[in-house]
Amino acid sequence: MAKPTLPGEMLPQERQHEILQRLRSRGRVVAAELAVEFAASEDSIRRDLRELAAQGLCKRVYGGALPLSAAIAPLKQRRGEQVGRKLALARKAVSLVREGQVLLIDAGSTNAAIAAALPERMNLTVITNAPDIALALIEREGFGILLLGGRLDPRIGGAVGAQTLQELHRVRADLCFPGACAIDADSGLWGFDSEESLLKRAMVEASGETVVVATSDKLGAAATHRIAQIAEVQHLVVEHAVGRQARAAFAAHGVSVHRAEPAVD
């Protein structure tokens, strides 16, 4: 039987493979921590991260690396992923809602958790392109519901396209919760699909304030289509584990950062 390779004896390619495994399981890696784990210098780890980033396998950030945000999985799959984390984010997000407000809630599994966490008897109006969100609220007290029409995309679980945009241009909301594919403190909010990103952009334009609710893998990640500049995002709700430095990067741009309680799985 082959003797296992000790951390300090790994070749760069072996170490990079292990770093990728940790990146996928943890959602982010920190160079200083990896140096201890692999008994290597921080310079060697930073070189590994640069090489992985050059291959398009991660995104370098100050002090470590983040995964490139993957193409969106179907809604049915996303509903069963990170349930406890999304619930913790949702509970924090709804603390920003005030009585009598009009809310624009985008399709998506995190936003469905937000809709479910909304308190009753607050005389809220919810405008959404997501049938599952409308159905979840229809029998609860204190909600007016406007379901935007259009072509239903089963992948995102909501209506998109010209009809949805046209209906959206006729409404005005106090708060919007656009689904986030990626958000960066410098470059703003991003999406993968051009048609869906146009809809999210219209939601931002139709609302007084924008609340982005993001799991840690979305922070500093990369996507294709810009939805909004960071100056157009008033609130960011992040997971409890997101560090002070990452939160400060968004706060420096005038974003109010709200930290969720620890998730319970």
Question: What are 213-261's pLDDT values in tens digits?
Answer: 999 888 877 677 899 999 999 999 999 999 999 999 999 999 999 999 9
Q: Is residue 264 part of a domain?
A: no
Residue that is last in its domain, among 17, 43, 66: 66
Average pLDDT of span 197-211:
97
Picking from 205, 197, 185, 211, the residue whose alpha carbon sits closest to that of residue 89 is 211
Q: Is residue 200 part of a domain?
A: yes
Domain count, the chain: 2
Predicted confidence band of residue 78 (pLDDT cuts 50, 70, 90): low
Q: Is residue 231 part of a domain?
A: yes
Strand partners, 191: 225
Q: Is residue 2 part of a domain?
A: no
* Same-domain status, 94 and 35: no
What are the pLDDT digits (tens) for 56-69? 777 777 778 877 65
Residue that is last in its domain, among 66, 85, 116: 66
Predicted confidence band of residue 181 (pLDDT cuts 50, 70, 90): confident
* Same-domain status, 223 and 103: yes
* Same-domain status, 92 and 112: yes
CATH at 138? 3.40.50.1360
The angle that helices 42-54 and 12-26 make with each other, rounded to 10 degrees, is 80
CATH at 48? 1.10.10.10
* Same-domain status, 55 and 86: no
* Same-domain status, 137 and 222: yes
Q: Is residue 54 part of a domain?
A: yes
* Residue 198 to residues 2, 97, 123, 169, Cα–Cα distance (Å): 54, 25, 29, 12
Q: By three-state DSSP, how is residue 140 classified?
A: coil
pLDDT of residue 81: 63
Q: pTM (2 decimals)?
A: 0.74
* Same-domain status, 164 and 237: yes
* Same-domain status, 27 and 88: no
Measured CA to CA, the distance from residue 54 to residue 116 in angstroms comes to 41
* Same-domain status, 192 and 109: yes
pLDDT at 167 over 90: yes
DSSP strand pairing (59-61 vs 124-128):
unpaired
Q: Is residue 1 part of a domain?
A: no
* Same-domain status, 108 and 228: yes
Residue that is last in its domain, among 21, 47, 66: 66
Domain of 161 in residue numbering reads as 75-259
* Same-domain status, 193 and 210: yes
* Same-domain status, 84 and 53: no
* Same-domain status, 127 and 224: yes
